[in-house]
Structure 1
Amino acid sequence: MRETGPATPETQHFPAATAPRIHDVSRLDAAVATCRACPRLVAWREEVAQVKRRAYREWDYWARPVPGLGPPDAALAIVGLAPAAHGGNRTGRIFTGDPSGDVLYAALYDLGLASQPTATHRGDGMELYGVRITVPVHCAPPDNRPTTAERDTCRPWLARELELLRPTLKAVVVLGGFAWQALLPVLTSAGWQLPRPRPAFGHGAEALLTDAGGERQMHLIGGYHPSQRNMSTRTLTPAMLRDVLHRGAMIAGLPREQQHPQAPSPP
């Protein structure tokens, strides 16, 4: 049965009722951080913050939904899966404090899209240039596996974020099959037309989307997620990740020399 009544952060329809009314990315990020719509995810993120890992026992865990990161006029978006239990759920910043983030931010720095190669905590000085990172599920899920219901409950946040980015967004790098499948319905409901047959996920896969009037285009680029498993098995290498990020940056018009001139030139 569909929920009725006021949309408080504890209600399942809080994202759907709240996100469309927000007209500023910073306010959207603040609203995301208050959400308690998925009981299983709330319980897990808070349990992790109490139990902690031994290496982080002195940390005061964020233990809330983790908003996106990056400027509100980004030309390139990177869409991942969800925060890591002892990464973003601890630090309060997406892809920060875990091995996946170590690889991602190093690649972004190499491409001149980030101000530093490592991200350790909120307030460490990290800035992104022309890039915004977000996720379809903003809470850390048990075993890194959100349910389809949790994904759908969280979807309005991602939909609104992409709507707010729409005036400047030219390309999206999608990290992992889960993010690819979560993102396509968001884009179609926002009026983007997918090519037929429906584009399948793969590392290096590309799809060109057009709006209903055919006046705007957006490119999707698929890439394997920089999970610890993918990196340890070399399903994904740092060079492979840089390649798909570089492809997205070039499509988005973010050449290295304009974004991060102090970065060393490649040999």
Structure 2
Amino acid sequence: MDALDDLDLRVSGCRACPRLVDWREEVARTKRAAFAGQTYWGRPVPGFGPPDARLLIIGLAPAAHGGNRTGRMFTGDRSGDVLYQALYDVGLASQPTSVAMDDGLELYGVRITAPVHCAPPDNKPTPGERETCRPWLVQELRLLRPTVRAVVVLGAFGWQATLPALAEAGWRVPRPRPAFGHGVRIGIDRSDGGGGSDGGGGPDGLDLFGCFHVSQRNTFTGKLTPAMLREVLSAAARAAGLGK
């Protein structure tokens, strides 16, 4: 077992936030009628993707009947349908759908994680829960540090979690901290002097991208279109040396 596998195993056993533990387990017991015959995961959902990923995608938290059911990030819900289709379109995934852990999906140089690993009520973790969960993200970033060269953050909540986590994991985050926005791109150096003056231009820096979250509210209203998502993912893939 490599270090990232060990981290994923430890994440999936976390019980640090009582409200989230109660909710994820209650959802797993009661289920949604459409999934009544399935056994829900009902635990924290670890990251998904290769241990040498060059691109990291950071969301918000698992969906109650998506990742909390399937055990894999953005798997089995409509937000995942949008994200994995876009990843496939830009050459970063082996197939356009993600429905179960055993569906054969592979990501090419990409890992997907979240600042909160448990499904929250109403899809809204609290800032305190985000802070409690942050050490997992910091550890994940440290383990990916030798290879990761670009990070895409989906939404402002994830952005607020990612910036301090990057700083704690060994990157020099600009001050004042940059504000979230769709299409924002920030070059970040390593705090030990690695990376170029623009962060992503050096051998150990990275490029940080902001993107609207792939929530149904955003995709159904057109705030985030498939083309907008593909544009951000394509730019991030190029920054990481991946994709078409």
| TM-score normalised by the chain length of structure 1 | 0.86
Q: 2:229 aligns with which of 219, 241, 245?
A: 241
Distance apart, 1:61 and its partner CA: 0.4
Alignment-derived partner of residue 227 in structure 1: 215
Matched, 1:54 2:42: no
Distance apart, 1:213 and its partner CA: 3.3
Aligned residues between the structures: 235
Alignment-derived partner of residue 198 in structure 2: none
Matched, 1:211 2:190: yes
Alignment of 1:132-211 (within 5 A): 132-211=111-190
Alignment-derived partner of residue 126 in structure 1: 105
Alignment-derived partner of residue 88 in structure 1: 67
Aligned-partner Cα distance in 1 for 2:101–2:192 = 41
Distance apart, 1:54 and its partner CA: 1.1
Aligned-partner Cα distance in 1 for 2:48–2:100 = 12
Unaligned runs of 5+ in 1: 1-21, 257-267
Aligned-partner Cα distance in 2 for 1:198–1:183 = 11
Distance apart, 1:185 and its partner CA: 0.7
Alignment-derived partner of residue 96 in structure 2: 117
Aligned-partner Cα distance in 1 for 2:165–2:176 = 17
Q: C-alpha deviations, 1:28-85, integer Å up to 9, x for none? A: 1111111111110010001111111111111100000000000000000000000000
Alignment-derived partner of residue 11 in structure 1: none
Distance apart, 1:255 and its partner CA: 2.8
Contact 1:74–1:130 (CA under 8 A) maintained in structure 2: yes
Aligned-partner Cα distance in 1 for 2:191–2:144 = 17
Query: Partner amino acid for 1:241?
Result: L
Change (3 A) 1:152 1:98: same
Contact 1:137–1:151 (CA under 8 A) maintained in structure 2: yes
Contact 2:237–2:243 (CA under 8 A) maintained in structure 1: yes
Aligned-partner Cα distance in 2 for 1:110–1:43 = 38
The percentage of aligned residue pairs carrying the same residue is: 65
Matched, 1:33 2:12: yes
Alignment-derived partner of residue 42 in structure 1: 21
Unaligned runs of 5+ in 2: 196-204
Runs (4+) off by over 3 Å: none
Query: Partner amino acid for 2:223?
Result: T
